[in-house]
């Protein structure tokens, strides 16, 4: 069964063709990230406009790379939410139109759950992919860490899961992005903080970790503020000093130390919860997915600290893509999920797990 996936929840316009939920035939991602860089974050109107301009050629390219015609497509899967409303609308309206015009079943996909199903992509003839050797097994413990979300979820099977915990404030990727902005390291913040941290001393600055009632919940807002205070102090300023002026007054070494200390604390927070859940629920597989799963320190520490080996998607499938949408769409189709009406499917910007 070949599924065409369409993803437009944030600033990536993506389309992919996946066969039987595991074989990656194509994965096309056009990002408007460069257009947002000047603003230090995603500008929703710019993102929506870029999706509109590029979605048709992206889908055509996905079919072409997969050497697939419309006749060979068995279903269309599209991100319904969560995400930016204007961005989601472009993907959903395109998918609805194609489902009617090409007479294909349409499956609405939860973007967050889909990140987990990126780990089910295990085969491809496309060059440059490092896919997991085997698909994860259920029960599956998933740490979903992205720019919008930080969640710990236990899946009994596709579509059946228990949300163990989530962030009570900022997502971890968001904290990375904000720290990067404070240090003037560039957007998106994850890769730039990760890079700067490699040259820094992670013990240079003591940063707090928060204890919450639910040991599987996270909080990153306090950490972000603690980083700001530490940066102001290192710069010889008080707490009224504006964060926008920090990049100019901090030295390269100070920035690297702040980045490394922040990263060590963020990674410890995530892994403490993951280790505890792994011990308590004894899952058959553990996966780490979402944009932050690309983080080198997180991968290194997980390897050192976790008794189970962790399955990651290829780096290109950690950040937003449509292959994960198509993969979950396949499982929904196979599991007999209800079809969406192409005449009325709505976006759900604040869809939860
Ligand atoms: O999954 P994703 O592409 O989009 C959302 O659904 O949010 O995740 C994007 C997030 C951004 O916050 C970005 O800074 C972060 O993932 N990220 C990283 C790394 N690469 C991307 N965070 C830490 N280390 C990285 N290497
Ligand atoms: Zn995402």
pLDDT 10s digits, 274-333: 999 999 999 999 999 999 999 999 999 999 999 889 999 999 999 999 999 999 999 999
Shared domain for 247 and 327, answered yes or no, is no
Chain Cα centroid distance, residue 224 = 20
Residue 240 pLDDT grade (very low, low, confident, very high; cuts 50, 70, 90)? very high
Q: Whose CA is nearest to atom 23 of ligand 1?
A: 190
Task: With beta carbons less than 8 A apart as the criterion, state whether 107 and 340 touch.
Answer: yes
Distance CA 325, CA 110 (A): 8
CA of residue 144 to ligand 2 center, whole Å: 9
Cis before 188 (ω within 30): yes
- Predicted confidence (pLDDT) at residue 174 exceeds the cutoff of 80: yes
pLDDT band at 31 (very low <50, low <70, confident <90, very high): confident
The first and second tokens of residue 71, run together, are 């006749």
pLDDT digits (tens, 9 = 90+) for 45-61: 888 899 999 999 999 99
- Does the bond joining 58 to the residue before it have cis omega, within 30 degrees of 0? no
Residue 344 lies in a domain: no
Judge whether 274 lies within some domain. Answer: yes
CA of 68 to the centre of ligand 1 (A): 31
The answer on 299 and 210 residing in a single domain is yes
Are 162 and 307 part of one and the same domain?
Answer: yes
pLDDT at 41 over 80: no
Can you tell me the distance from the alpha carbon of 341 to that of 106, in angstroms, rounded to the nearest whole number? 7
> What is the distance in A from the centroid of ligand 2 to the CA of 319?
6
Residues 322 and 271 in one domain: no
* Residue located nearest, by CA, to atom 8 of ligand 1: 291
Residue carrying structure tokens 């509109």: 52
- Compute the distance from residue 147 Cα to the ligand 2 centre, in Å: 7
Whether 100 and 160 share a structural domain: no
Residues pairing with 94 in the sheet:
none
What value does the mean pLDDT take over residues 81-94? Answer: 97
What would the mean pLDDT of 27-49 be, rounded to a whole number?
83
8 Å CB contact between 146 and 173: yes
13 within domain boundaries: yes
Instruction: Tell me the CA–centroid distance for residue 183 and ligand 2, in Å.
Output: 24
Distance of CA 254 to the CA centre of its chain: 29
- Has residue 350 been placed in a domain? no
Confirm whether 66 is domain-assigned.
Answer: yes
User: Is residue 255 domain-shared with residue 186, that is, in the same domain?
Assistant: yes
CA of 142 to the centre of ligand 2 (A): 14
Sign for the CA dihedral angle at 326, 327, 329, 330 comes to positive
Query: Which of 12, 291, 300, 322 maximizes ligand 1 atoms within 8 Å of its Cβ, making it the mutation to test the pocket?
Result: 291
Confidence class for position 67, pLDDT limits 50, 70, 90: very high
| Shared-domain flag, residues 305 and 319 | no
Closest residue by Cα to atom 19, ligand 1, is: 190
- Asked whether residue 211 carries a pLDDT value surpassing 90, the answer given is no
The CATH number that applies at residue 216 is 3.30.420.40
Do residues 148 and 107 share a domain?
Answer: no
Residue ranges around ligand 1 (CB below 6 Å): 10, 146-148, 173, 176-177, 188-191, 194, 290-292, 294-295, 319-320
Q: Is residue 125 part of a domain?
A: yes
Q: Which residue owns the Cα nearest ligand 1 atom 1?
A: 291
Evaluate whether residue 347 is within a structural domain: no
Q: What is the pLDDT of residue 352?
A: 87
Indicate the number of domains in the chain.
2
Same domain for 151 and 49: no
Atom of ligand 1 nearest to the CA of 290: 1
Are the C-beta atoms of 149 and 165 separated by less than 8 Å? no
Q: 166 and 85, same structural domain?
A: no
Does some domain include residue 348? no
Q: Identify whether residues 120 and 195 lie together within a single domain.
A: no
The domain in which residue 214 lies consists of: 141-311
Proximal ligand: closest to the CA of 196: 1
Predicted confidence (pLDDT) per residue in 124-171, tens digit: 999 999 999 999 999 999 999 998 889 999 999 988 999 999 999 999
Q: Are 323 and 55 contacting, i.e. CB atoms less than 8 angstroms apart?
A: no
342 neighbors 99 (Cβ within 8 angstroms): yes
Shared-domain flag, residues 294 and 155: yes
């Amino acid at each position: 069964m070949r599924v065409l996936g369409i993803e437009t929840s944030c600033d990536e316009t993506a389309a992919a063709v996946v066969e039987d939920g595991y074989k990656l035939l194509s994965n096309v991602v056009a990002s408007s990230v460069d257009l947002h860089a000047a603003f230090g974050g995603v500008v929703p109107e710019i993102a929506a406009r870029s999706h509109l301009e590029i979605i048709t050629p992206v889908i055509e390219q996905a079919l072409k790379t997969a050497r697939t015609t419309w006749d060979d497509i068995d279903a269309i899967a599209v991100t319904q939410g969560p995400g930016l409303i204007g961005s989601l609308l472009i993907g959903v309206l395109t998918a609805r139109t194609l489902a009617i015009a090409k007479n294909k079943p349409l499956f609405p996909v939860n973007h967050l759950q889909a990140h987990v199903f990126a780990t089910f992509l295990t085969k491809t003839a496309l060059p440059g992919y490092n896919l997991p050797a085997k698909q994860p097994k259920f029960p599956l413990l998933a740490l979903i860490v992205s720019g919008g979300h930080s969640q710990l979820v236990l899946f009994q099977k596709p579509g059946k899961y228990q949300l163990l915990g989530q962030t009570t404030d900022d997502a971890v990727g968001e904290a990375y992005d904000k720290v990067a902005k404070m240090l003037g390291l560039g957007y998106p913040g994850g890769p730039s903080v990760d890079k700067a941290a490699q040259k820094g001393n992670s013990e240079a600055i003591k940063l707090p970790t928060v204890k919450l009632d639910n040991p599987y919940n996270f909080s990153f807002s306090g950490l972000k503020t603690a980083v700001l205070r530490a940066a102001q102090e290192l710069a010889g300023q008080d707490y009224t000093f504006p964060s926008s002026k920090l990049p100019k007054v901090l030295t390269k070494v100070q920035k690297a130390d702040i980045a490394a200390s922040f990263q060590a604390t963020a990674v410890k927070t995530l892994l403490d919860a993951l280790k505890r859940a792994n011990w308590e629920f004894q899952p058959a597989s553990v996966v780490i997915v979402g944009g932050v799963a690309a983080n080198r320190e997180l991968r290194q520490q997980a390897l050192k600290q976790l008794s189970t080996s962790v399955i990651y998607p290829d780096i290109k499938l950690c950040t937003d893509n449509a292959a994960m949408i198509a993969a979950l769409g396949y499982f929904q189709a196979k599991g007999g999920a209800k079809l969406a009406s192409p005449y009325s499917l709505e976006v759900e910007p604040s869809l939860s797990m």
